């Protein structure tokens, strides 16, 4: 038997009175989080939730997230985390597709009425029997008429431990992919997948019991869920929660709580790099901050170098995906770190770069990154045809174009789906973006392909300028043309105020294609 909730139960025994999570003025100990999770589990059992049932969860980075997450696991059920930005129809789709029997949803805020949209989506999912509204305070009455609140579910339930005996290969979490092509698919991750990934993250990052993490990456995303929440709980760390990224708020919490580990996506590093207010003591923040981790998308080398110069702390870049629980490769602490690289394989995982026929390509040549190991998902839920393609030959086909250097380090070139074919020649957007980021006026760049009658596809760059900087679109085209092969430079450039981003801070190229 193996149930991922063992990591919380073990830390609750070892560090009962230690802060597990801090949110604003609220401090919750390991014993409190574990006891509350037991109440959720017992409440779900009382409602008829059985081992193997699916239970969905929409919640900001609040202590309620780990309480409900581990409560679902303790009941032997499967957690289905949903993005907090989903609208009614998207919620209904996820509830139906995952066969969820119950749904926990936070009430939200006036500008993001999650509870209202969640309840509407729930009403369209016939097989979803229970809706639990998460209110700001457990004793708050339901803001939606007739709804059962989390507080009502937990009321009168025992905080004593009674965890279901699940198997190591039972599905613990179904996490939905972002759906860049087609509708989102649910990756089934087992208790073993997630426990082993938390274990290797602890070793990779050198987590210590006295570490203090800041979790601003959304907990519904696999990066924060595994690398921060689960790994932090496993090691007995204290995690400071922040629901949305704001550079000033992040720096304020780093200084206040003497944060030692920060993990973010590239746009967060860009935000911290460009924050100019002097109200914080960067020297003090840097002296506490031991490690920064980047993932979710490729970090531009220019941003990495500038951030490290400003904050005097190394950024360790790795590579992962929902289907890999998530970590696949990493720049290890005890090995040479190569900026721009996603490092080498992590423990227990094999990686190779292949051509279209799944044959390995020579060192330095581009191909698709494949991997296999304990981290690979069981498969996409109810998608046998997709599994045959994605998991063929026993290897997870990532859809990412990469190269491997002579030292065994991997570099992501681009997504195969984002590759531009201009006049029969392949152009990888990231290569163009890296060049344009070196222009002194450029702050952020996203490159896409646009339809073109003559070339099939043409290259277009969306550019955000640095505050106070000036450059014309023609100047940027000319500057880039001088520094990259003639078929690769953008023929069209558009200067915009901001790039569209997902809830996890990824640049949404599919939205740029609509502009």
- The predicted-structure confidence for 306-324, as pLDDT tens digits, reads as follows 999 999 999 999 999 999 9
CA–CA distance, 33 with 29 (Å, rounded to integer): 6
Contact 323, 190 (CB under 8 A): no
The total number of residues shown for the chain amounts to 515
146 pLDDT more than 90: yes
181 pLDDT more than 60: no
Burial of 205 (0-12, 13-18, 19+ CB in 10 A): buried
CA–CA distance, 22 with 54 (Å, rounded to integer): 28
156 pLDDT more than 90: yes
Flag the least confident range among 264-273, 299-308, 404-413, 415-424. Answer: 415-424
Structure tokens at 116: 């209202």
Q: Of all helices (H) and strands (E), which one includes residue 351?
A: strand 349-354
Mean pLDDT over 197-212 rounds to 96
Within 10 angstroms of residue 505's Cβ, the number of other Cβ atoms is 23
What is the distance, to the nearest Å, from the Cα of residue 233 to the centroid of all Cα atoms in its chain?
17
Confidence band (pLDDT; 50, 70, 90) for 180? very low
3-state secondary structure of 323: helix
503 pLDDT more than 90: no
Structure tokens at 497: 């105020």
Going along the chain from its start, the domains and CATH numbers come out as 6-18+29-188 (3.40.50.12780), 418-512 (3.30.300.30)
User: If you average pLDDT over each of 194-203, 267-276, 476-485, which comes out highest?
Assistant: 194-203
What strands lie across the sheet with 367-373, from one edge to the other?
A: 349-354, 367-373, 396-404, 410-415
What is the distance, to the nearest Å, from the Cα of residue 119 to the centroid of all Cα atoms in its chain?
25
- The predicted-structure confidence for 467-477, as pLDDT tens digits, reads as follows 999 999 999 99
Structure tokens at 176: 């939905």
Contact 172, 193 (CB under 8 A): yes
- Which own/partner pairs from 343-346 qualify as long-range (CB within 8 Å, at least 24 positions apart)? 343/316, 343/317, 343/318, 343/319, 343/409, 343/410, 344/408, 344/409, 344/410, 345/371, 346/200, 346/204, 346/318, 346/375
Could you identify the residue written with the tokens 């040549």? 365
Could you identify the residue written with the tokens 């078929």? 487
Percent of the chain with pLDDT over 70: 99
Mean pLDDT over 120-133 rounds to 98
179 pLDDT more than 70: no
CA–CA distance, 83 with 467 (Å, rounded to integer): 31
- What's 457's DSSP letter? E
Closest CA relative to residue 103, chosen from 126, 122, 117, 77: 122
Structure tokens at 438: 């070196």
461 pLDDT more than 50: yes
302 pLDDT more than 70: yes
Flag the least confident range among 151-165, 385-399, 473-487. Answer: 473-487
73 pLDDT more than 70: yes
Q: What angle, rounded to 10 degrees, do the helices at 88-97 and 114-124 form?
A: 50
CA–CA distance, 133 with 154 (Å, rounded to integer): 12
CA–CA distance, 481 with 465 (Å, rounded to integer): 18
- The predicted-structure confidence for 345-377, as pLDDT tens digits, reads as follows 999 999 999 999 999 999 999 999 999 999 999
Mean pLDDT over 85-111 rounds to 95
408 pLDDT more than 80: yes
């Amino acid at each position: 038997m193996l149930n991922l909730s063992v990591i919380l139960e073990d830390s609750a025994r070892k560090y009962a009175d230690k802060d597990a999570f801090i949110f604003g003025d609220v401090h919750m100990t390991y014993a409190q989080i574990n006891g509350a999770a037991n109440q959720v589990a017992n409440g779900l059992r009382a409602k008829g939730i059985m081992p193997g049932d699916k239970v969905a969860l929409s919640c900001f980075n609040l202590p309620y997230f780990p309480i409900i997450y581990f409560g679902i696991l303790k009941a032997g059920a499967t957690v289905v985390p949903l993005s907090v930005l989903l609208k009614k129809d998207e919620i209904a789709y996820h509830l139906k597709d995952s066969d969820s029997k119950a749904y926990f949803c936070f009430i939200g805020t006036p500008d993001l009425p999650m509870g209202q949209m969640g309840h509407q989506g729930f009403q369209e999912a016939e097989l979803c029997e229970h809706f639990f509204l998460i209110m700001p305070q457990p004793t708050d009455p339901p803001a939606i008429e007739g709804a059962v609140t989390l507080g009502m579910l937990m009321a009168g339930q025992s905080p004593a431990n009674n965890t279901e005996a699940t198997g190591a290969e039972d599905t613990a979490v179904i996490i939905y992919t972002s759906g860049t092509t087609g509708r989102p698919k649910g990756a089934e991750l087992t208790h073993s997948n997630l426990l082993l990934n938390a274990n290797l993250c602890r070793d990779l990052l050198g987590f210590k019991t006295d570490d203090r993490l800041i979790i601003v990456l959304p907990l519904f995303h696999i990066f924060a869920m595994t690398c921060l929440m689960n790994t932090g709980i496993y090691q007995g760390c204290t995690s400071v929660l922040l629901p949305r990224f704001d550079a000033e708020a992040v720096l304020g919490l780093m200084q206040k709580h003497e944060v030692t580990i920060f993990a973010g996506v590239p746009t967060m590093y860009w935000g911290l790099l460009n924050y100019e207010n002097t109200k914080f003591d960067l020297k003090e923040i840097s002296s506490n901050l031991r490690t920064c981790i980047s993932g979710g998308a490729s970090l531009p080398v220019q941003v990495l170098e500038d951030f490290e110069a400003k904050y005097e702390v190394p950024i360790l870049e790795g590579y992962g995906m929902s289907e890999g629980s998530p970590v696949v490769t990493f720049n290890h602490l005890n090995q040479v770190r190569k900026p721009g690289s996603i490092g080498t394989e992590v423990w227990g995982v094999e990686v190779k770069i292949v051509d279209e026929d799944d044959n390995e390509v020579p060192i330095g040549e581009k191909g698709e990154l494949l991997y296999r190991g304990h981290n690979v998902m069981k498969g996409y839920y109810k998608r046998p045809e997709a599994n045959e393609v994605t998991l063929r030959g026993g290897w997870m086909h990532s859809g990412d174009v990469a190269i491997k250097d002579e030292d065994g380090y991997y570099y992501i070139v681009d997504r195969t789906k984002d590759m531009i074919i201009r006049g029969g020649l392949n152009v990888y957007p990231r290569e163009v973006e890296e060049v344009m980021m070196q222009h002194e006026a450029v702050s952020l760049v996203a490159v896409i392909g646009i339809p073109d009658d003559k070339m099939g596809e043409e290259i277009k760059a969306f550019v955000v300028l640095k505050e106070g900087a000036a450059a014309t679109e023609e100047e940027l085209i000319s500057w880039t043309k001088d520094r990259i092969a003639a078929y690769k430079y953008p023929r069209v450039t558009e200067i915009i105020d901001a790039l569209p981003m997902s809830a996890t801070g990824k640049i949404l190229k599919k939205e740029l294609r609509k502009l």
